[in-house]
Structure 1
Amino acid sequence: MAVRKTIEVVPRARRTLTSLRNLGYDLRHAVADIVDNSVSADATTVHVTVHFDGTRSWIRISDNGRGMDAETLSEAFRYGSDREYNRTELGRFGFGLKSASTSQCRRLTVLSRADIPGAALEARQLDLDHIDEVDNWEIFDLAPDELPEPTRSGLGAASGTVVLWEGLDRVLRYQDPFGGWAKKQLIAHAEDIDEHLGMVFHRFLAGEVADREPLQITVNGTPVEAWDPFCRTEPSTSALQEEDMEVRSLDRNGIVHLCPFVLPNQNHFSSQAVWKRASGPKGWNRQQGFYIYRADRLIQSGGWCRLRAVDEHAKLVRISLDFFPELDSAFGVNVAKASVTLPEELRKELTPLVKTWGRVADTAYRQKQRPASPPPRRPKPSGAASASPASTVRPSPGQSDLSREQDSSIRLATFSPALANHRGVGTTSRVPDAAPLSASGALEAAASQVGESEALSRIVSALRTLSPEVAHDLGW
């Protein structure tokens, strides 16, 4: 067979880099991508500094990780850099450092010292203005006296890496970049970065990741606090049955782990401050749904991945979904690590579970409508059928003799018998007397008694759409 003639076609640097600046990063995701590299380098501290100085404003991310030698640092500036990633690393595509940085700035400088005795300080710089001029894939190898001033104070004598962004053309888009409005917006960006990092890396910050020291992150000197979406320290938070599901991918099969939580309603939080913080960056309704983690790093925070609509009555349910990088192709992880797509086989398995979780969350939500103390009980008409104890329990906040655990078990037994049986919760245990049922409670109890809870759930869903006022009056 004849050898085919080949011609090497190298992409134009100027036009290609212009396109690569638009890969879907916003500022907070771009900073998080740089912190990913710090985590992969086993850093235990990461400092993010956002400095305002008009057109000379800059953002710096420094860490105390392993650092890089000269060859590794130069390779890190190659688009699509080629290296092996282990199973728990947060990188994958070899684009993060460059694409995240240039999505926000025109000049990227990286200063690094490898964790090797006597290692020299290495620095490289990618300048988009220079590439626009020469239209070639070139970076600068900086000498010590050429280092930008902000990098000099970012790294001491130990190993680590400093990433500096200058020329923040995608961040400061104002006619007067030195004005008060520009400064105010950059401060707001710093606050947004703080909030985002506390959510994305909350497991690392809380020391929940196996074989790792807790991670410390600061933004402008202030420690970033971990934000737990599931409020696991709240006594009234309910952890439902965990699930493991196998998913196939082009690389190899992997396990997806799911852990659903139903948070308490506002009245059952330990304090109003805790309740407000639990609402999250996007607010209660938009934070419901799936929290998808890749190697313990949060990729998606809330949303139902088109398995159901956002619903006020389901705002208390949040589900952690964990997978590792071997399933990246199955989940369609993008370069910015800001979105995923559920594999079709997983969607089919999740559909009935989402309905179950939604019903339990709906029950927890409607607890806020109970009166503070039980109203007078009406006498039961003679000959009236008695509903089963489990289906009629609606304890008021004043009932101290019914524990939260009993309350949760009874509600679970009523609205998800299969799940209750799996957890060992009985459906006919005796409970203390409770307040009379509301209209919605009576309908649900009756539907449960005749085995039509699923049908009622569909009716309620339709009623909320067709006549929300009537649904509200009925307690839904």
Structure 2
Amino acid sequence: MKTEEIIPSAARLTNSMRDLGYDFVTAVADLIDNSVAAKARRVNITIHFAGTDSWVRIADDGDGMTGVSISEAMRLGTARSYDNADLGKFGLGLKTASLSQCRRLSVASRTDRNRAHVEARCLDLEHVTETDRWEIIHLSRLERPEVLTAPLRSSTGTVVLWENLDRVLNHRDPWGGWAQRLLLNLAERLEFHLGMVFGRFISGEASRKRPLTITVNGNVVEPWDPFVRDEPKVEPLPPREFEVGGGLVRLQPFVLPAQRDFSGDAAWKKASGTRQWNSRQGFYIYRADRMIQSGGWSWMRTADEHTKLARAALEFWPDLDNEFQINISKMRVKLPEELREKLDAPVAQLLKRAQEKYRGGERSSVSRPGRRTAPPANPPQAGKPSGPGSADTGSGRDRSGPVVPHPGTPGGTAGGGTPATSTAGSRRTGTRIVDPEPSGAAAALQRAAGRVGQTAALALIRDELRRSEPEAARDLGW
């Protein structure tokens, strides 16, 4: 058999890799996955403004890497195996996450507490573009910037340094006040995002020996609990476990207190995080204790004011990655169809109780922990998408036509993933595509577009927002 090795163009491939859907906060979170795998107890993130010389540094005190290991980590498709507790998956995160934000990536590491020996490597897109070769640069002591090696003076660990932040400071005036404010805002966004994504690791709930401490510009990141379990009147419903694809998925529903029952206004506001309360209802999906989706009903239901107190933890481990179709950036997840069917009854029960609490009603015949109560034959489908051709059969399924689950991130990910097609949030009934009924700002925009005859233009704007700015789309109710 005659064969021929075809080596990809390094210059083209590296530039293509920059557009895999990361934003700043999700890119940093991807690197912290590596710190967790290295048994780090502390991760310090520094965002430094210096105009065109601005930089971002992620430093941990983990086990560190040898020079050979750093070189392998910078390979496209790292040749390493992952166990069931690892947060990594594809061997691409260090490169794809970093290059999505910068053009120069440097890594330094120390493995021996008794020796000050540090290994350092650099991947510079200017060099790759010029040579069209996937080459990394071995940094000698004289070539290493001080900010790269300083955190390794007193401990083992790994430091990742981003320079030439063209995707972060992409304005023509990187020295302007706007640029400094931008980095300040990014630091604030990053604090909340990391407290949400790694909340279980920070609080000590994750299945590891010790809690993780994360700082951003010296500020200690606080864990954000979407289920406000420290509030006296939060109501956990009975947990459920489902077998899917040979593995287990665990569901833990919660009904949050109404605003009048919170311990204070500050606690109520904190429970909404950085978004509105309506957009926070739904599934919080955890993969190996790391949050990868924050709210949204994964196209099983639509957000509704009367069910905004309903939230549920949905947990699985990496052995079910294929079933959940995790993408490279770990920002998109799709519920297996087998699991959707099993979730119908407990989700309907959760929404029913959330509506009762929202309206100030007393607890009805919802099963309590330790007791099993058969669901009604036709459970209420609160928040069920409706539209022409739909039929409520009591099972949560549309019998008039097959439901086509969307491949993108439903309802909002922890990282703000990007929908894969322009029919995000839609469902197919017969031969028609029907969008869920909008609410709030989205409904007002749709009515205004109808009055001025620009409904088609609004649909294009909606789809573009879903693609390029998913967080803004979710805030509008799209």
TM-score normalised by the chain length of structure 2: 0.78
* CA distance, structure 2, for counterparts of residue 299 and residue 125 of structure 1: 29
Matched position secondary structure for 1:89:
coil
Q: Tell me, yes or no, if structure 1 residue 51 matches structure 2 residue 48.
A: yes
CA shift, 1:314, in A, is 1.0
Of 232, 247, 260, 2:253 maps to: 260
Which residue of 2 is the match for residue 111 of structure 1?
108
Q: Tell me which amino acid in the other structure corresponds to 1:315.
A: K
* Aligned residues: CA RMSD: 2.5
- Aligned equivalents of 2:384, 2:322: Cα separation in 1: 38
For structure 2, the residue ranges without an aligned partner over 5 or more in a row are 388-435, 441-478
Residues 1:177 and 2:174 aligned together: yes
Deviation digits for residues 425-454 of structure 1 (CA, Å, limit 9, x no counterpart): 9xxxxxxxxxxxxxxxxxxxxxx9xx8984
Q: How far 1:157 moved relative to its partner?
A: 3.2
Query: 2:146 aligned to 115, 138, 149, which one?
Result: 149
Is structure 2 residue 19 aligned with structure 1 residue 22? yes
Conserved? CA contact 2:116–2:153, under 8 Å: no
Q: Which residue of the partner structure matches residue 129 of structure 2? A: 132
Paired residue secondary structure (1:21): helix
How many angstroms does 1:356 deviate by? 1.1
Checking the alignment, whether the CA contact within 8 Å between 2:301 and 2:384 is kept in structure 1 is no
- Shift of the 143–316 alpha-carbon distance from structure 1 to 2, 3 Å rule, reads same
Matched letter for residue 52 of structure 1: F
Q: What letter is aligned with 1:241?
A: P
Does the CA contact (< 8 Å) of 2:307 and 2:383 recur in 1?
no
Return closer, same or farther for 1:283/1:71 CA change in 2, 3 Å cut-off.
same
Kindly indicate whether residue 375 of structure 2 is the aligned counterpart of residue 423 of structure 1.
Answer: no
Give the superposition deviation at 1:70.
1.3
CA distance in 2, matches of 1:280, 1:112: 35
**Matching of residue 72 in structure 1 with residue 24 in structure 2:** no
Q: Secondary structure at the match of 1:108?
A: strand
Is 2:355 the partner of 1:362?
yes
What per-residue deviation string (whole Å, max 9, x for no partner) do you get for residues 187-221 of structure 1? Answer: 10111111100000000000111332110000000
The structure 1 residue matched to 2:86, chosen from 80, 85, 89, is 89
Aligned to 2:312, what secondary structure does the other structure show? Answer: strand
Higher helix share: 1
Report the equivalent of 1:294. Answer: 287
Q: CA deviation at 1:353?
A: 1.8
Name the CA distance, whole Å, in 2 between partners of 1:221 and 1:126: 27
Mapped to 1, the partners of 2:353 and 2:334 lie a distance apart of 25
Deviation at 1:423, TM superposition (A): 3.0
Q: In the aligned structure 2, how far is the partner of 1:98 from the partner of 1:453?
A: 50
Counterparts in 2 of 1:361-440, with a 5 A limit?
361-367=354-360, 394=361, 411-413=363-365, 416=366, 419-420=367-368, 423=371
- Partners of 1:191 and 1:76 in 2: CA distance: 29
SS of residue paired to 2:263:
coil
Q: Partners in 2 of 1:53 and 1:118 — Cα distance?
A: 33
1:66/1:412 Cα in 2 relative to 1: closer, same or farther (>3 Å)? Answer: farther
Whichever residue aligns with residue 309 of structure 2, its letter is L
Residue 147 of structure 1 and its aligned partner are, at CA, apart by 0.6
Alpha-carbon spacing, 1:17–1:241, altered in 2? closer, same or farther (3 Å):
same
Q: Which amino acid aligns with 1:295?
A: A
Q: CA deviation at 1:82?
A: 1.1
Larger radius of gyration: 1
Provide the residue aligned with 2:325 in structure 1: 332
- Percent identity over the alignment? 50
Structure 1 partner of 2:264 = 271
Pick closer, same or farther for the CA change 1:267–1:142 going to 2, 3 Å. same
Aligned partners of 1:207, 1:349: CA distance in 2, in Å?
Answer: 30
Aligned residue pairs total: 392
Residue 236 in 1 paired to residue 233 in 2? yes
Deviation at 1:344, TM superposition (A): 0.7
- Post-superposition CA distance 1:35-64 (Å, at most 9, x none): 110011000000000011111100000000
Residue 412 of structure 1: SS of its match in structure 2?
coil
Distance 2:82 2:377 in 1: 51
Q: TM-score, normalized by length of structure 1? A: 0.78
Q: Say yes or no: does 1:352 pair with 2:345.
A: yes
